[in-house]
């Protein structure tokens, strides 16, 4: 009986931990009275990007973001147009980060002998891996008076595999749209 309870606990802990997202939705700002339902058409501004924009899949990933936005906008009743009522500015920042850990006396061995009966040991940062972190900011601008009416976005670690990245982008954009009135 205890074994079954332990197995159920471990399984549920694993499922719960695998459901957590690898991104964080940023706090949104909006104009008073803004509702996406007040607009019927949308369009895109040019993309602003900085950081790791030279990768061979960068253009493809921009299209994935635009497709995810278009899908969510269509669900909310907006259609893409040449002369839209609202334009979306997409700003991207991708940078490579280095994951480090702090050395300590217990895990990293004894002090080194420096001669003349002097031993030394100091704590240092040791690199253990690399990852890419991305930030996507979305600005909704009313084209009639060129006024920003909503801004928000997401930030997180980018998966290495293209399929996972496309899925995470879709999830993040869908979650952002749940917060747009």
CA-based nearest residue to 124, from 105, 140, 149, 139: 105
How far is CA 179 from each of CA 20, 64, 153, rounded to the nearest angstrom?
18, 20, 10
Rounded mean pLDDT, 147-151: 94
Supply the mean pLDDT for the chain: 80
Tens-place pLDDT, residues 106-145: 666 666 555 666 666 667 787 888 888 889 999 999 999 9
3-class SS of residue 58: helix
Percentage of residues in the chain with pLDDT exceeding 90?
39
Strands (E) across 40-85 are located at 41-44, 48-51, 79-80
66 touches 111 (CB < 8 A): no
Tens-place pLDDT, residues 82-114: 999 999 999 888 888 888 888 776 666 666 555
- pLDDT at residue 129 in the model: 87
Instruction: Report yes or no on whether pTM surpasses 0.85.
Output: no
Choosing among 3.40.640.10, 3.30.710.10, 3.40.50.2000, 3.30.160.670, the CATH entry for 20-98+115-178 is 3.30.160.670
CA-based nearest residue to 35, from 86, 79, 71, 82: 86
């Amino acid at each position: 009986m205890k074994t079954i309870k332990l197995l159920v606990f471990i399984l549920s802990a694993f499922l719960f931990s695998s459901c957590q997202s690898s991104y964080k939705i940023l706090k949104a700002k909006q104009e008073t009275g803004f509702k996406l339902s007040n607009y019927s058409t949308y369009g895109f501004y040019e993309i602003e990007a900085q950081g790791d924009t030279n990768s061979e899949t960068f253009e493809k990933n921009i299209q994935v973001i635009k497709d995810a936005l278009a899908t969510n906008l269509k669900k909310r009743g907006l259609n893409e147009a040449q002369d839209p009522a609202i334009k979306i500015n997409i700003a991207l920042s991708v940078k490579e980060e280095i994951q480090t850990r702090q050395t300590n006396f217990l895990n990293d061995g004894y002090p080194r002998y420096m001669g003349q009966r002097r031993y030394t040991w100091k704590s240092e940062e040791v690199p253990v891996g690399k990852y890419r972190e991305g930030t996507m900011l979305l600005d909704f601008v009313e084209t009639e008076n060129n006024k920003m009416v909503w801004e928000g976005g997401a930030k997180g670690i980018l998966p290495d595999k293209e399929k996972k990245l496309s899925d995470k982008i879709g999830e993040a954009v869908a979650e952002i749209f749940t917060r747009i009135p």
